[in-house]
Structure 1
Amino acid sequence: MRPGLPAETTDRLARVLHTLRMRSTFYCHAELGEPWALQMPAIPDSISFHVLTTGTCWLRLPDADPRELRAGDLALVPHGLGHDLASTETSAAGPRVDLLPQQYLTEHYSVLRHGGSDRSAQLICGVVSFDDPAARELMRALPSVLFVGGDTLSAASSIRDTLRLMAGELSHPQPGGEAVATRLADILVVQAIRAWLANNPDTGSGWLRALHDERIGYALEAIHNEPGREWTLERLAQLASMSRSSFSTRFTELTGVAPIAYLTRWRMNIAHTRLRNENTTAARLATELGYQSEAAFNRAFTRIIGHTPGTIRRQR
């Protein structure tokens, strides 16, 4: 079967979701009594998730209508946006959650008790971040908030199972518990994205639509699989069975950047992750990612990432 047919595009997206890896930043089990309100600060390159286990609450984001959450609902805020949680739709903004006194069970997990003495709500909240280049591209393509309702039985069932396992790991901390919770957060985020995609098959413009495109998706996956190959516009267009001009126009229309600019960004995101997490060098990465010289690699890295490779390596 020629890549690009509907079954192949589904497999392509499944492969992307399979490889997503997040880094846990923080988890919180919140016990809240009415009246209450909390501010969630903006955290760049992160995803916040909130699962209501008891009661109701309202989620408010800038330039969006407030949304009520009920027990069993999951809300995912993909773009690191600051937002509010409150007991009522019209509650005044509350204090920043990270400035409130909390019971820290571990460095990355706390129990927060806040608010009045009336009807209570309980939430499991988390903040995860990502270095993976596929995760970065996927997050750019998502809306400002994703909801998975507790009444969406097929999706909610698997999400509830994941949350139950996560709650068990976090409520009784033991060696390795945070590592398990991090993997479960990976699963939870992917489950939420899958549920959103299942209910929104027409993903509009952006990276997801490009991945689904019969011709452009084939070229994208080639870049992802072999980022260090000596790709040119002509070679990528040949993979897509298109002329160079038609391929470049279509690629840019879907992804928002030209093909070679996308290739460069993908390479630099890989390099950034590896410099942060591995004992590697700019010279080695330059060779592996298809650059003729370390100087050319350094210039591209600094232009895309905003810091030199040496700066990122020292931060590691």
Structure 2
Amino acid sequence: MDALADVLAGVRARSAAFCRTVLEPPWALRIDDGARLALVTMVRGHAWIVPDAGSGAVQSGIAEPGIAEPVLIGEGTVAVVKGPGPYVVADEIDTPASVVVRPGNRLTTVDGTDITDEFLTAAAESETPGSSVMVSGTYQVAGDVGARLLGALPDVALVAAADIGSPVLDLLIAELAGSRPGQQVVLDRLLDLALIETVRTWLDGQRDAAPGWFRAQSDPVVGQALRLIHDDPGAQWTVARLAAHCGVSRAAFARRFTDLVGSPPMAYLADWRMTVAADLLRTTGDTAESVARKVGYANAFAFSAAFKRHRGLSPREHRVGVE
């Protein structure tokens, strides 16, 4: 498995909050569902993603936890939007939000009155050729592996749908147009594919701005080393062993890996092992001894010492959520 596949495998849709929304101008939705990641595309019309007036992004001038600057999504453009801070999606930058999107795709007025059914029904019945049509889906990203994907993305990543070499968006839109048995499972799978294709296309277009671990995957030497590490993080890798597998000298391999990835091979290996271990501790009942073996440590004592040195807290503290 390559580095991108590992990172994307840590982000999966489960009962995705996915919908096709018909909107008549002026319109504005305040997105306050707490999702770590959202996929938005305008099938017809355009939309602005606007910082929420009450978010830290506006009040303190920093990008987290909300969107920092307004971003235009044109027709036929796909946007990957980072949360979990609230933001507004609107026809114009200054249109005030009248509907709030809450967890579970529940829609309310600004004062909290639930209008989910009536809003969606009325919107669908009033659709005209001039209506804006937005398709969106959300992810609740969990774990340290998933956090690597979030760290690689800006607040809003834009990709032209025409640049995505897959019909997945057309399939999503077609599936949302009907109601068939098993639809939720189909939407979950299609949302996974849509995110993978969009993120991969966006990263391909970034070149120097993409993370080192992504750029290095295309290198015949370092890319092979990354695949070895991600295929088996528990193997007893050394610089010499990795270099031998890649068919280059130890010195040349270490220099090339560091230049392309941005960190030495053993530092990258240690960081990935701790990332995998952190998720295992939170998502499984594996003992520290079992986790240690899976990520290449001889015993729980050695693993615990390395984990605390790397993360600043013990495996037990991480498992129970101590900050």
Q: Same fold (TM over 0.5)?
A: yes
Counterpart residue number, 2:168 = 158
Give, in whole Å, the separation in 2 of the partners of 1:79 and 1:164. Answer: 27
The answer as to 2:95 corresponding to 1:91 is: yes
Instruction: Output the CA distance in 2 between the equivalents of 1:311 and 1:264.
Output: 19
CA RMSD of aligned residues (A): 4.2
The one-letter amino acid paired with 1:214 is P
The answer to whether the 8 A contact 2:49-2:90 is kept is yes
String of CA shifts for 1:75-114, please: whole Å, max 9, x gaps: 11257565431111343577753289628xxxxxx76839
CA distance in 1, matches of 2:304, 2:97: 44
Match of 1:190 in 2: 196
2:279 is equivalent to residue 269 of structure 1: no
Question: 1:246 and 1:306 mapped to 2: Cα distance?
Answer: 33
Count residues with an aligned counterpart: 292
Corresponding residue to 2:80 among 72, 76, 81: 76
CA distance in 2, matches of 1:77, 1:68: 11
Distance 1:298 1:16, change over 3 A: closer
- 2:128 is the alignment partner of 1:128: no
The aligned amino acid for 2:170 is R
Determine the C-alpha separation between the residues in 2 that align with 1:304 and 1:39: 38
Letter in 2 for 1:77: V
**Cα deviation digits, residues 210-233 of structure 1 (max 9, x gap):** 212232212111111111111223
Question: What secondary structure, in the 3-state scheme, does the structure 2 residue paired with 1:89 have?
Answer: coil
TM-score, L = length of structure 2: 0.69
**Which residue of 215, 230, 237 corresponds with 1:224?**
230
1:121-154 deviation line (CA, Å, top 9, x unaligned): 332322214458765545533444333335x276
Return the alpha-carbon distance in structure 1 between the equivalents of residues 16 and 311 of structure 2.
25
In structure 2, the CA distance between the partners of 1:91 and 1:248, relative to structure 1 (3 Å rule), is farther
SS for the counterpart of 2:269 is helix
CA deviation digits over 1:226-252, x for unaligned, max 9? 111112233334444555555445434
* SS in structure 1 of the partner of residue 234 of structure 2: coil
Shift of 1:26: 4.7
Q: CA deviation at 1:15?
A: 6.0
Aligned to 2:25: 34
Given the alignment of the two structures, is residue 55 of structure 1 paired with residue 55 of structure 2, yes or no? no
Asked whether the equivalents of residues 304 and 315 of structure 2 are also in contact (C-alpha less than 8 Å), the reply is yes
Provide the identity percentage.
27
Distance 1:35 1:269, change over 3 A: same
| Ranges in structure 2 where 5+ consecutive residues have no aligned partner | 52-66, 109-115
Cα distance in 1 for partners of 2:313, 2:97 equals: 36
- Post-superposition Cα deviations, 1:272-310, rounded to whole Å, max 9, x if no partner, equal 333344332221111222112212323434555666544
Say whether the 8 Å CA contact 2:41–2:73 is kept in structure 1: no
1:24 lines up with 2:35 in the alignment:
no
Q: Matches of 1:80 and 1:147 in 2, distance apart? A: 18
Structure 1 CA distance, aligned partners of 2:118 and 2:315? 39
Task: Give the letter for the 2:272 counterpart.
Answer: W
Taking structure 1 as the reference length, the TM-score comes to 0.70
> Which whole-Å CA distance do the structure 1 matches of 2:97 and 2:256 have between them?
44
